Structure 1
Amino acid sequence: MRRLSIPLRALLITVLAIGGTFGLDPFRNYQLATAAACFAAVAGLTVLVGLTGQLSLGHAVLMASGGYGFAFAASAATGPAILVLAAGLLGAVAVSGLLGLLLGLAAARLRGPYLAGLTLALVIALPSAANTLPIGGDQGLRAPFLPVPEALTALIAVEQWHAWLAIIVAALAVTPLVMLRSGRAGLRMRAVLDDETASRLSGVDPGSVKTGAFVASAVPAGLGGAILAIATQQVAPGGYGLAFSLLLVVAAVVGGLGSIGGAAIGSVLVVFFPWVVDELVAAAPTDLGQRLDGNLAVLVFGAVIVAVTVLWPGGAARLLDRFLAARPRRFATPATNTER
Structure 2
Amino acid sequence: MSAILARAKAARETNTLLRHLLGALLGLVLVVLVLQGVSDFRRFQLAEMAYLGIAAGGLTVLTGLNGQLSLGHGALMAFGAYTTALLLPDRDAGTPLVLVILAAVLVTLVVGALVGAAAARLHGPYLAGATLALAVAVPGIALYFKGTLGGEQGLRIVLPEIPTWADDATYFLTGQDLTPSGWVAFLGWATLIVTFVLLANLSRSRVGRRWRAVRDDEVAAQLAGIDLGRARVSAFMVSAAAAGAAGAVLGIAVRLAAPSSFTLTLSLTLLAAVVLGGLGSLTGALVGAALLTFLPQVVTGLGTDAGLDDIAAAELAPLVYGLVMVLVILLAPSGLYGTVHRALVVRRTRRALASGARPAADPATPETPGSTTTTREGATR
TM-score by length of 1: 0.88
Give the residue type in structure 1 aligned to 2:133: A
Match of 2:72, as an amino acid? G
Q: What code does the residue aligned with 1:121 have?
A: A
Is 1:97 matched with 2:109? yes
**Correspondence 1:34 to 2:48:** yes
Runs of 4+ in 1 over 3 A off after TM superposition: 74-80, 280-286, 288-293, 322-329, 334-337
| Structure 1 counterpart of 2:333, from 309, 313, 319 | 313
How large is the RMSD of aligned CA atoms in angstroms?
2.6
Mapping for residues 1-340 of structure 1, pairs under 5 Å: 5-75=19-89, 80=94, 83-133=95-145, 134-150=148-164, 152=167, 155-283=177-305, 285=307, 289-291=310-312, 293=314, 295-325=315-345
**Change over 3 Å in CA distance of 1:305–1:285 after alignment to 2:** same
Give the letter for the 1:110 counterpart. Answer: L
Amino acid at match of 1:100: G
Contact 1:33 1:166 survives alignment (8 Å): yes
Identity of aligned residues (%): 41
Q: Distance in 1 between matches of 2:27 and 2:207?
A: 24
Supply the distance in 2 between the matched residues of 1:75 and 1:297 (Cα, whole angstroms): 36
Quickly say closer, same or farther: Cα 1:279–1:77, change in 2 above 3 A: closer
Residue identity opposite 1:243 in structure 2: T
Partner SS for 2:36: helix
SS in structure 2 opposite 1:257? coil
Q: Which residue of 1 aligns with 2:369?
A: none
Contact 1:72 1:91 in 2 (8 A): no
2: distance between equivalents of 1:163 and 1:17? 9
Q: CA deviation at 1:6?
A: 2.1
2:365 is matched with which residue?
none
CA distance in structure 2 between the aligned counterparts of 1:238 and 1:161, rounded to whole angstroms: 25
Question: What is the Cα deviation at residue 191 of structure 1?
Answer: 0.7
Contact 1:60 1:240 in 2 (8 A): yes
Structure 2 distance, partners of 1:137, 1:289, is 32
C-alpha deviation, 1:142, in angstroms = 1.4
Gaps of 5+ in 2: 1-14, 169-175, 358-381
Matched length: 330
Between the aligned partners of 1:50 and 1:176, the Cα distance in structure 2 is: 16
CA offsets, 1:163-200, max 9 Å, x none?
11111111222221111111111100111011112111
CA shift at 1:299, angstroms? 2.3
Ranges in structure 1 where 5+ consecutive residues have no aligned partner: none
Q: Give the TM-score normalised by structure 2.
A: 0.79
- The answer to whether the 8 A contact 1:54-1:107 is kept is no
